[in-house]
Structure 1
Amino acid sequence: MSENNTLSDQAAKPQNANIASIELLRGLASAVVCLYHFTNGHNNFISEANWIKAITGKGWLGVEIFFVISGFIIPYSMARSHYRWRDFPLFMLKRWARIDPPFWLSILFVLGLNVLATLWLVPSFKVSWSRLFLHFGYLIPFFPPNQWLNGVYWTLGVEFQYYILVGLLYPLLFHKRSLSFWFTAAGLLTITIFTNQPAFFFDYSMFFILGFALFRRFDGQLKPWEFYLFSAIVFWVIEYKFSLQYLVAGFIPWLLIAFWPDLKIRGLRWLGMISYSLYLIHLPLGKKLIPLAARYIEGDGPRLVFVIFLFAFTLSLAYGFYQLIERPAMRWSKLVHYGEREVKSEK
């Protein structure tokens, strides 16, 4: 058997591993990002002195949790499918089928909300065709001063860049020889230290790389001392480039995935199931409904009650979005196969 086949077989080891904590983390991350935007996104809606606003004020760090999860789960999925270099086009097609249909429909959702908002928020709504089309392919960052129609889309652009990179570098990052992993990851970390472009992957690559280390630990390709040493280096890079709060955001998924992969909390797992849908639609809802509520509701108490109702309403819409749009996209993605069929035929 060729070396690539051996690598594929070894990489498939975590296939039956229990990683229930992934859904828990997705639910946690999506909830805190949503509550952050609802309580902090409209500056004067909740007073600065309010302790709830102070707590939810760090919810934006949920984005970094998503990045660590993606750094783990994408190679995990690739390993289970026995990914190889020549599978790159099919890998990208699979990711496209999973991510883009909900993304496109969410753009229609945003446009519809903006049109409706002309009834109470703004006198008119205009969007250029060029700006709209730049969303397809996640090209907005490459053509300033164009802006995303939905503020959370910038993370999808980072994720899309990550898919391209991990698809191309997978044989190096997850080679059975750990030295290949160390050198490739060190190169990525070096780039990220000297990068200051928030709209691009390399500014956040250390969080994805932390996920890489978690995967190689699951896969058994990193010895315990290598895993801890490598993780310590990545945490140092995170703290060096950003701050301690970013380190904490990376540490939470690192801890749960590495040491409590079977941790289950029912409510958070349900949130994890609809996390992508919730992430796509919550911000435009908040941006349109919170300014409207601010006209008629006074005081932190009543406004926080409104936030609770808005959160519940958003969850119900996200669940419908998940059932009608995201689940079919998941099925379409599963129809795309690559290396696993050839491996089965060899057996």
Structure 2
Amino acid sequence: MQSNKHSDFNLGVQQLRGLAALAVVLCHYGSDLKNYPLLSKIFNKGQLGVHVFFLISGYIILYALLKNNYYPRNFFAFLFKRMIRIDPPYICVIILTLLTFWLLTFIPSYGGKEIPFIPGQFISHLLYIIPFTKWEFYNHIFWTLCVEFQFYILVGTLYFISDSKFYRSFFLLSFSLSCFLNFQNSYYLITNYAPIFAMGMAQIHYTKTKESIYLVLILTSILIVYCKFDALITSILIISAITIYYCNQSLKILSFLGKISYSLYLIHPIVLIYILGIGKNFFGIPENELLYLLIKLVILIPSTYIFYFFIEKKSIELAKRFKYNTNETT
């Protein structure tokens, strides 16, 4: 294997993000196609795009920390920088969700649930601890952000205690094996997805160093993923890792979706609520299910870009201004 250039690294990750985000969207937008059961079954597997996001996070977060000579003393600055990057779009979607369900209560035909504003529930969302409280998610897609936040804490506090090859190898192996520990609410814990994150982490080390120990750790993580999950998830992650490593062809649509992937993930459920509500009450729903799916996507993508441009892009620009290391370049 040959090392990727920096541009190739960005290209592979960006396009994979776009594909994973599209898969999740198709799962929620197209998994109920009654007239196309096979296509519906395929779209339903789009939920596995979340596992790809976890692999990418393991790879790219560690890449950024290694590049910027991170030390544990930078932890709170690192965490603050990540919060600047991810929190504003997240908070905006939370507010939009609460506002939407409040407005729906004024529609007589609406028979769905209400989401009252409860300070404790709201704060628990901001702290990414909802799975461990008595409250429900405003939207269940937020669970992945809780897992991601746990990863930031783990890698920021423990992984850089030592830069020795032995420590890092021990960490990655024990971290991967932690998926077999049985905790309450394990579905929402970083340990449940540990070998996926570890696979991405080991891959960036191997990309940078070409040391065989990291290749062994990649293969070990793959084996653990297979034992923990199944052959399909394992195959998708292997293909994803290869894509990150070797991708050098630009597909503009996937690069575009990759750029807006976080916004796309966050707002696609709320956009669907408006599409269903407005469409059903004012325009009706097309009988052709594939046409209706296409209409939903045509509405979603521009809506996402508007949200990205006015909200997420500002967060990205602000996060780039914040330097937690004098050697930091990004």
Question: Which amino acid letter does the alignment assign opposite residue 207 of structure 1?
Answer: I
Aligned to 2:312: 326
- Determine the C-alpha separation between the residues in 2 that align with 1:38 and 1:138: 26
Question: Which amino acid letter does the alignment assign opposite residue 192 of structure 1?
Answer: C
Residue 240 in 1 paired to residue 227 in 2?
yes
- Relative to structure 1, the CA distance from residue 305 to residue 49 in structure 2 (aligned partners, 3 Å threshold; closer, same or farther) is closer
Question: Which amino acid letter does the alignment assign opposite residue 304 of structure 2?
Answer: A
Residue 297 in 1 paired to residue 297 in 2?
no
- Determine the C-alpha separation between the residues in 2 that align with 1:264 and 1:214: 22
Aligned to 1:87: 74
Aligned to 2:252: 266
- Deviation of 1:84 after TM superposition, in Å, equals 0.9
- Relative to structure 1, the CA distance from residue 52 to residue 172 in structure 2 (aligned partners, 3 Å threshold; closer, same or farther) is same
Larger RCO: 1 or 2 (CA < 8 Å, sep 6+): 1
Question: Which amino acid letter does the alignment assign opposite residue 285 of structure 2?
Answer: I
- Determine the C-alpha separation between the residues in 2 that align with 1:268 and 1:123: 35
Residue 113 in 1 paired to residue 100 in 2?
yes
- Determine the C-alpha separation between the residues in 1 that align with 2:154 and 2:36: 43
User: What's the secondary structure of 2:125's corresponding residue?
Assistant: coil
- Relative to structure 1, the CA distance from residue 16 to residue 50 in structure 2 (aligned partners, 3 Å threshold; closer, same or farther) is closer
User: What's the secondary structure of 2:57's corresponding residue?
Assistant: helix
- Deviation of 1:48 after TM superposition, in Å, equals 7.2
Given the alignment, which residue of 64, 78, 87 partners 1:77? 64
Q: What whole-Å deviation, never above 9, does each CA across 1:107-134 have from its counterpart, x for those lacking one? A: 1121222233332433672324122221
Q: What whole-Å deviation, never above 9, does each CA across 1:47-70 have from its counterpart, x for those lacking one? A: 175222122111000000100000
Contact 1:35 1:59 in 2 (8 A): yes
> TM-score w.r.t. structure 1 length?
0.85
Given the alignment, which residue of 192, 199, 214 partners 1:210? 199
Q: What whole-Å deviation, never above 9, does each CA across 1:203-240 have from its counterpart, x for those lacking one? A: 111111011011101221x42x4343222211111111
Question: Which amino acid letter does the alignment assign opposite residue 245 of structure 2?
Answer: A
Mapping 1:1-347, distance limit 5 Å: 16=6, 18-19=8-9, 20-40=11-31, 45-47=32-34, 50-118=37-105, 119=107, 120-122=109-111, 125-129=114-118, 130-144=120-134, 146-172=135-161, 175=163, 177-195=164-182, 197-220=186-209, 222-223=210-211, 225-260=212-247, 262-287=248-273, 289-290=275-276, 296-297=284-285, 299=287, 302-341=288-327
Contact 1:84 1:171 in 2 (8 A): yes
Unaligned runs of 5+ in 2: none
Q: Percent identity?
A: 28
Question: Which amino acid letter does the alignment assign opposite residue 171 of structure 1?
Answer: F
- Deviation of 1:103 after TM superposition, in Å, equals 0.3
Unaligned runs of 5+ in 1: 1-12
Question: Which amino acid letter does the alignment assign opposite residue 261 of structure 2?
Answer: S
- Determine the C-alpha separation between the residues in 2 that align with 1:115 and 1:103: 18
Aligned length: 319
User: What's the secondary structure of 1:134's corresponding residue?
Assistant: helix
Contact 2:35 2:289 in 1 (8 A): no
- Determine the C-alpha separation between the residues in 2 that align with 1:178 and 1:86: 20
- Deviation of 1:286 after TM superposition, in Å, equals 2.4
Question: Which amino acid letter does the alignment assign opposite residue 77 of structure 1?
Answer: A
Alignment root-mean-square deviation, CA: 2.4
> TM-score w.r.t. structure 2 length?
0.89
